[in-house]
Amino acid sequence: MSTDDHSHETDRSGHEHHEVEGPGYPTPAAMRTESGREETAYVMAPRVGMEKEGPDMIGVVDLDPASDTYSELIDTVEMPNKGDELHHFGWNACSSSCHAEGLSRQYLVVPGQRSSRIHIVDAEDPREPEMVTVIEPEEVFEHDLSAPHTVHCVPGGKIVISMLGDANGEVPGGFLQLDQEDFSIDGHWEADRGDMELNYDYWYQPRHDVMISSEWAAPNTYYPGFDLDDVEAGDYGDSIHIWSWDDREHVQTLEFGDQGQIPLEVRMSHNPEETQGYVGAALSSNIIRFYEESDGAWDWDVVIDEDPREHEEWDMPVPPLITDILLSLDDQYLFFSNWLHGDVRMYDVSDAGNPRLVDRVWAGGLFGDRQTVQGEEIRGSPQMLQLSRDGKRLYWTTSLFSSWDNQFFPDIATEGSLMLKADVYPDEGRMELDEEFLVDFGDAPGGPARAHEIRWPGGDCTSDVWQ
């Protein structure tokens, strides 16, 4: 069934969906049950900081088990310049615009974290995407912004990108809005940023007039690599921010302090009736649930806490370093990666405030008991995650950020990183590493690369929002 053509449907909240003309699916359940198995993946793959430092690329990976090229790179889109550090990317349109006639999910918006260059890639032919437009950094700097990160398509034919710094790589950051038609820059999305200075990821829910954003650090702080002195100096984030989506104004800050140092990925429930979600605090290595109270204010609780471990080569206990999280489309399971320790975890969050650990997979890292797959050393550890739309296959890559990779897993700089997979059994609450699946980005055309974020043609659980 086409990913952009769906019959009338009413979701469990009573939200009616008539004459779906636009991109994506009318409900999360429709995406989960009607979309078909993923057959292609787009994988961000920087070469910044590699021993052989060529231009970054987007890798096209064959995920069709019936194909002769299954689990292989079948195409690449090379960037026209070196030094971009592609990091996260997103679509020009998604399920939030499923009623918008004339829109289609055709273009990938691909920012460079270090260069502030924004690339537009035409993916109308899923297996042969092509570069069509490049927004040069000087156009971005005119708005006193830099270091683009999270890309979300939003209702009204617009694209909003979180920006982590000003034009000089310092704070404050902000949000850049692009037009979906011609990818011209409208300017800042936010009308009033309040006390927000640090920025990173964000999620929004128009039905409840809310956006949630998180914090990393100023680009000039994290670009060189991780330094604990920067944390002690207060240069890394410890808060999330609540915004009015309609007014584009900052309304509340939830400060975690030591309980939530470096809160990175934000995931709200896919069910648009819910007003809650989770953020992974990387350095504190815990999962924080945020939620709206009956009076309209937002609050938070630590619902999962991970412990550091002693390591003979470290002068301090090693934190797990939770670097990516995601929710299954039915909001039943939360997955997250412990990048330094070497495991990916699966929690049942059907009782949202009381997550229950159901399984984990070890693969690489400093403590993983499995350090090879198909005889290939696992360089790095589970990091960026992507789940199949039916919730039965979890994929991950093993690179975080060039300078951080080179500190903690230096082999990635010479040999590239990997893409791996686990089979998930949601009815049983378990998962199992698929030792037959391995994509080695050390063998990429043009030289080894750092496999990072993953996207499916047709959308996925970390790109699509429902109104």
Sign of the torsion angle spanned by Cα atoms 127, 130, 135, 137: positive
Question: Would you tell me how many other CB atoms lie within 10 Å of the CB of residue 434?
Answer: 17
The residue written with tokens 């939620």 in the block is: 291
pLDDT of residue 20: 62
Strands 239-244 and 249-255: antiparallel
The residue written with tokens 């499916």 in the block is: 456
User: Cis omega (within 30 of 0) on the bond before 172?
Assistant: yes
Spatial distance between the Cα atoms of 288 and 161, rounded to a whole number of angstroms: 23
CA torsion 51→53→59→63, rounded to 10°? 0
The residue written with tokens 């998604």 in the block is: 94
Spatial distance between the Cα atoms of 321 and 311, rounded to a whole number of angstroms: 14
Question: Would you tell me how many other CB atoms lie within 10 Å of the CB of residue 283?
Answer: 21
Report whether 152 contacts 202 (CB < 8 A): yes
Strand ranges across the sheet with 57-62: 73-78, 57-62, 40-45, 454-455
The residue written with tokens 């199992």 in the block is: 432
Which residues of the chain fall short of a pLDDT of 50?
1-18
Question: Would you tell me how many other CB atoms lie within 10 Å of the CB of residue 158?
Answer: 18
The amino acid present at 4, given as its one-letter code, is: D
Contacts of 54 (CB under 8 A, 6+ apart): 47, 78, 82, 446, 447
Domain 9-455 fold is Methylamine Dehydrogenase; Chain H (2.130.10)
User: Cis omega (within 30 of 0) on the bond before 137?
Assistant: no
With 0-12 CB in 10 A as exposed, 13-18 as middle and 19+ as buried, what is 178? buried
Spatial distance between the Cα atoms of 158 and 142, rounded to a whole number of angstroms: 19
- Report the length, in residues, of the chain: 467
The residue written with tokens 């709200």 in the block is: 268
**DSSP string of 365-399, one letter each residue:** TTT-S--EETTEE--S-S-SEEE-TTS-EEEEE--
pLDDT of residue 99: 75
Spatial distance between the Cα atoms of 99 and 97, rounded to a whole number of angstroms: 5
Beta-bridged to residue 422, according to DSSP, are 394, 433
The amino acid present at 141, given as its one-letter code, is: F
The amino acid present at 271, given as its one-letter code, is: N
Give the end-to-end CA distance of the chain in Å, rounded to a whole number: 22
Sign of the torsion angle spanned by Cα atoms 196, 200, 206, 208: negative
Specify the pTM.
0.95
Strand ranges across the sheet with 286-292: 263-268, 276-281, 286-292, 298-305
Cα angle for residues 22, 28, 33 (degrees, 5° grid): 100
Q: Where are the domains of the chain?
A: 9-455
* Tokens at 5, concatenated: 């053509």
